[in-house]
Amino acid sequence: MFINSTNASHTPIRAVIIDLDGTMLDTLPDFHVAINAMRGQFGYAPITREQIALMIGKGSENLIRSVLALELDAASIEQRFDEAMAFYQGHYLAINGDHSALYDGVIDGLEAMKAQGLRLACVTNKPIAFATPLLAQKGLAPYFEIVYGGDSLPRKKPDPMPMLQVCADFDLAPAQVVAIGDSSNDAEAARAAGCFVLTVPYGYNHGRAIHETDSDGIVSSLLEAANLIRSHNNDAN
Ligand SMILES: O=C(O)COP(=O)(O)O
Ligand SMILES: [Mg+2]
């Protein structure tokens, strides 16, 4: 549970905000294919999944700049940026989801959350044009009342704006909402918004161990998260 059970008056959790890449789906193989296809158009050699894993989490612009920085200086990156982004987006949309897989416990966890009456939102730094078809293809779309991509709002995670927007949409206080993610971006955004935060250890945390990230707990799956929320709410009632 998130709050010491001796505090009988704590607020029940009513909604869950769930991250996409590295939390529900292992999308690293899709990023790998699309990035290397883009690099090939520039005549650059392929890079490894491990290299790309370190660059995921802060949205497409950050990813493309990080990839170009392997060859180019800062001024050249900006010169090639628009072309690289256009190449990358074309390749990503062509293969979106083809090489990605659900992590264990995702569907069971979402079902368990729904069964508890929790409202669900997906907040990802992935562009919304990638996130929407991917959620549909993987059977995740029906679970979410709200989906915000990295370009849906003026600021993305680790800024608290998307978390606060979800709280406002659901008409809930941040203390009634828990965010679940695989990276410090998710945890920082949730903390700054005043939401609870749980992390999963199996995603992409910029090469850092998830234990280094401040959270209210580490869960091995979304199913474990659902169970934790249930016991928190049982204590609250
Ligand atoms: O696209 C990214 O950089 C990461 O997306 P996420 O917020 O779903 O982990
Ligand atoms: Mg993530």
Beta strand extents in 96-138 (DSSP E only): 101-102, 119-123
| Centre of ligand 1 from the C-alpha of residue 11, in Å | 29
**Distance (Å) from CA 24 to ligand 1 centroid:** 11
d(CA 42, CA 7): 59
Distance from the alpha carbon of residue 26 to the mean position of ligand 2, in angstroms: 9
- As residues whose CB is below 5 A from the ion ligand 2, the structure lists 19, 21-22, 182
> Is there a catalytic annotation at residue 19?
yes
Is the separation of the CB atoms in 199 and 180 below 8 Å? yes
- CA 209 – CA 212 distance, rounded (Å): 6
**What separation in angstroms does the CA of 233 have from each of 97, 160, 169, 177, 229?**
35, 24, 22, 12, 6
Whether 176 and 15 have beta carbons less than 8 Å apart is answered as: yes
Choice from 27, 28, 56 to test ligand 1 binding pocket (greatest atom count within 8 A of CB): 56
ipTM: 0.97
**CATH class of the domain defined by 15-26+101-236:** alpha beta
Closest-CA residue to 150 (of 181, 180, 126, 120): 126
Locate the ligand 1 atom nearest the alpha carbon of residue 56 and give its number.
3
Q: Are 186 and 157 in contact (CB under 8 A)?
A: yes
pLDDT at 207 over 90: no
pLDDT band at residue 5 under the 50/70/90 scheme: very low
**Residues with beta carbon inside 6 Å of ligand 1?**
19-22, 56-59, 63, 124-126
What does the pLDDT read at residue 152? 98
Question: Domain segments of the chain: what residues?
Answer: 15-26+101-236, 28-95
Q: What is the pLDDT of residue 42?
A: 95
DSSP state of 25: E
What is the pTM (predicted TM-score) of this model?
0.95
pLDDT band, residue 10 (cuts 50/70/90):
confident
Burial zone of 131 (CB within 10 Å; 0-12 exposed, 13-18 middle, 19+ buried): buried
In terms of residues, how long is the chain? 237
Q: What is the mean pLDDT of residues 94-120?
A: 98
Which atom of ligand 1 lies at the shortest distance from residue 130's CA? Answer: 1
Alpha carbon nearest to ligand 1 atom 1, residue: 126
Residue 29 pLDDT exceeds 80? yes
Indicate the DSSP class of residue 178: E
The Cα 164–Cα 6 span in angstroms is 28
Q: Which of the four pLDDT bands, split at 50, 70 and 90, describes residue 4?
A: very low
Q: Which of 166, 164, 203, 163 is nearest to 184 (CA)?
A: 203
What was the pLDDT predicted at 237?
Answer: 66
Average pLDDT over residues 119-140: 98
Distance 89 CA to ligand 2 centre (A): 19
Rounded CA separation 58/47 (Å): 19
Nearest atom in ligand 1 to 157's CA: 7
CA angle in degrees (0–180, nearest 5) for 24-30-33: 165
* CA–CA gap between residue 42 and residue 121 (Å, rounded): 38
DSSP helix/strand/coil, 123: strand
CA 114 from centre of chain: 19
Q: Binding residue per annotation — 182?
A: yes
